Structure formats: structure tokens, C-alpha cells
Amino acid sequence: MAKLVEPHGGKGLTCCLLEGAELEAEKKKAGGLKKLSISPRAKGDLIMMGIGGFSPLTGFMTKADWKSVCDNYLLADGTFWPIPVTLDASKEDADSINDGDEVALYDPEGDEIIATMKVTEKYEMTEDDKKYECEKVFMGEGTPTAEEFWKIAKDDHPGVQMVMDQNEFNLAGTVKVLTEAEYPTKYAGIYQRPAESRKTFEDKGWSEVAALQLRNPMHRSHEYLAKIAIEVCDGIFIHSLVGNLKPGDIPAEVRVKCISVLVDKYFIADNVVQGGYPLDMRYAGPREGLLHATFRQNYGCSRMIIGRDHAGVGDFYGMFEAQTIFDKIPTPSEAGKALLCTPLKIDWTFYCHKCDGMASLRTCPHGKEDRVLLSGTMLRKGLSEGVELPDHFGREEVLDILREYYASLTEKVEIKTHGAATGN
């Protein structure tokens, strides 16, 4: 009988989402609690804790967890975890909350309470603390010194900007999640809980499942990566981010439509499952690649496709740094605490005219002039500027959807290119 990889942390799926009478009672109680406004990033993190996507996390990190994750890729209890999951609060709010207090975590954009939280710790995040987190989490081989990093990060790195803009304190504590917000209805049939994807994989008899992370429309390179994974695993989980992106990125509903038409026309349906998850991008490159593998393990995936410049932004990271980081992380010996979802490392892929098909640097002997270099950034830049894309850059059915989307925009956003996108 097929057996999927166990959820991360050794405790099964730790789900903080309430249901039934317990949910109704907590909603009633939440109405009388102090309300704290939360960021879109925290909203996504809460929903992932609610549905078990962030197992074994059941709340926002303590200072000991934060420091250990930054320094060692480990929670304070020794469980592997690659990126801080924290909740910021203003000094005014932090001063009004005591340890043991319960608060309601309120999403101002959706005008609803997402969760309640029992505060067990509050700790100051000075400018130096925020900078420390940024250097540990976001600084890669593309900017090997802190001086080089800060010259450009404060203006050009959305993840760094997100951390530096946070309030002066962090609050830690366990949460009770009250809602999955708009995701189940807005992305019906795509958005899934880990328990649902696991059941789908089990029903198919899969045990080795590869995840393909997508934040861009699926071009020919993505298609090729997915088909390589199908050859070596039981199936592919095409898992799209449906949370917030940076300006210029293509909305989730458009990307999902592109994936659907591609899967319908160019894949054997039995070998593919499409899903969506509610996080915002952190743009943390290699560390985010590790996070992607960590929560995909909870969704039932044993392999994580890691290609060129995974989760990168600009030229902050080495082209394959998100692959090599998997060889450097700690491997806790205690059962369940190590990362079990392993990388499926694939070289730069492209269409080669002389090979007359998709290829990679490991398989194609021809020169750069024979290759159509594929990247989501170049795809978005070309479409936003109305230029003709090279032959074999994408499937025409997908490009038609994207051209229609760009034609509908009343304001254009400048798309910046970088070395990993252009092949330089």
C-alpha cells in the first residue's frame, strides 16, 4: 500500500482551525477581545497554521525560536525550520498587552477576525534586530558582504522592505484560527488543505510526489520540469501561490487559468494534481526554497523541484544557491524533526533550436545563440511591453490568456530584469 511522507515535526498535521461549536464559542469570545490589525503576510501564516500547512507550528515564534531559526535553521526545540514566522505589534499595542492575555487578530482588508491568540511573550525588535534577520534570511551569494547587500536591499528587495517596515515589537503565543478567509470560495477547486491533498495522493496510490512551486504563469520550462518529475515520481503537485505578490506579478486567478489550460492539453491528467496555498511570497531565495519544501512535506510531497533562482528576486542570490543550501542544513537526529522532503535539483532549462526540443545545460551541447532562455520575469516584461515573444517561449493557449490580461490593464508596472532572468 502506498505510504506518503509523514508531516513535518513528527506530530502529524497540527491544525489550529476550529470547527463546529468550538468555533462558534471562540468567535463570540473574540468579539470582546482587544483587536490587533495584522499584515497580509501574517494572515497567510495564520491560515497555514490553521490548516496544518505549517505543522508543527501552532503559533507565532518566541524570541528563542526567532534567534535559533535565524542562526541555525532550527526551532528552539531542535526542529528544522528555515524562516521566522513572527507577529509584529506597535509599542502602544505591546505595552497594553500582558503575558497571558488573549487578543483577536484582525484583517483590516477583509474586515474580519482571522484568529485569537494567547500571548505568552512580547519582545522588542530594534532596527539592529530587523537588520540581523534580513542579513541571515535574505542575504545570498549575489551580495556576499553586508555592505553590498544594504546598498541595494533597502530599495530593491521586497522581503527586506517587509521586515524593516514591521512594528517595534513581536508577540509570541499559540493561536486558534477562526476562518480560511476568502480562499475556499475565491479559489474553489484549487485551494486545498494538506489533509485534502494527502487524501487525493493516497486515493491515486502515490507515495513519491514532487511539488512544483509556481508564482508565475507556467511557461515551457515549468512544463518541462513538471514532466521530468512525472518520469521519476508517481505524480506532480502543481502548487501555486494564491496569496499576495509584488507589483507587476500576475494575479493568481490568471495564473491558475493558464495552468489549467496547459494541464488539459499537454499532460496526462491522472499524473497531475493542481493546488493552491494562501501564503504571501517572502522573496527569500534559498531560505524560501527550504520553506517551500517544509510545508510541501505537510501536503504529502516527498520531493521539491528546485530549479534556477528559486524564489529569487533581482540578483541577490546565486543562480543555484537554492539547490546547494539543501546540502548545508542541519539534520536533527530526533524522529520527525528533520526535513524529509528532498530537492529534485534540475539545471537551467530552455528550448534549443538545434536539439529541436526542451533541454538543459546537462543535456544540450549547443551555444547560447541556439537557445530560447525562459523565465517568468522575461515573460512578464515582454507581455507588459507588448513585444513579440520568441518562438517556443510558451504555449500559444497560455500566451493568449496572458495577452488578454495585459490588454485589460489600465496602468502598466515596470518589470525589472536581472541576470538570472536574462541569462547573463
CA distance 268 to 264: 8
Helix (H) or strand (E) holding 49: helix 40-51
Q: Which residue, among 170, 177, 176, 140, has the nearest Cα to 157 in the 3D structure?
A: 140
> Of the listed 215, 220, 371, 380, which one is catalytic?
215
For the chain, count helices (H), then strands (E): 16, 14
Mapped onto helix, strand or coil, the DSSP state of residue 385 is coil
Mapped onto helix, strand or coil, the DSSP state of residue 142 is coil
Q: Find the angle CA(405)-CA(408)-CA(411) to the nearest 5 degrees.
A: 110
> Of the listed 170, 216, 271, 298, which one is catalytic?
216
Return the axis-axis angle of helices 396-408 and 252-266, rounded to nearest 10°. Answer: 160
Q: Which residue, among 50, 74, 54, 49, has the nearest Cα to 8 in the 3D structure?
A: 54
Name the residue type at position 267: F
Return the axis-axis angle of helices 285-299 and 127-138, rounded to nearest 10°. Answer: 70
CA distance 213 to 222: 9
Provide φ and ψ at 87, rounded to 5°: -120, 120
CA distance 304 to 407: 34
CA distance 305 to 307: 6
Residue ranges in 118-188 assigned as alpha helix (H): 127-138, 146-156, 158-164, 183-186
In angstroms, the first-to-last Cα distance of the chain is 48
Q: How many CB atoms lie within 10 A of CB 170?
A: 23
| Residues 319 and 423 sit within 8 Å (Cβ to Cβ) | no
| 216: annotated active-site residue | yes
Task: For cell 542579513, name the residue.
Answer: 135
How long, in residues, is the chain?
A: 424
CA distance 93 to 134: 24
CA distance 113 to 104: 6
Question: How do beta strands 209-214 and 235-241 pair?
Answer: parallel
Active-site residues, by number, are 215-216
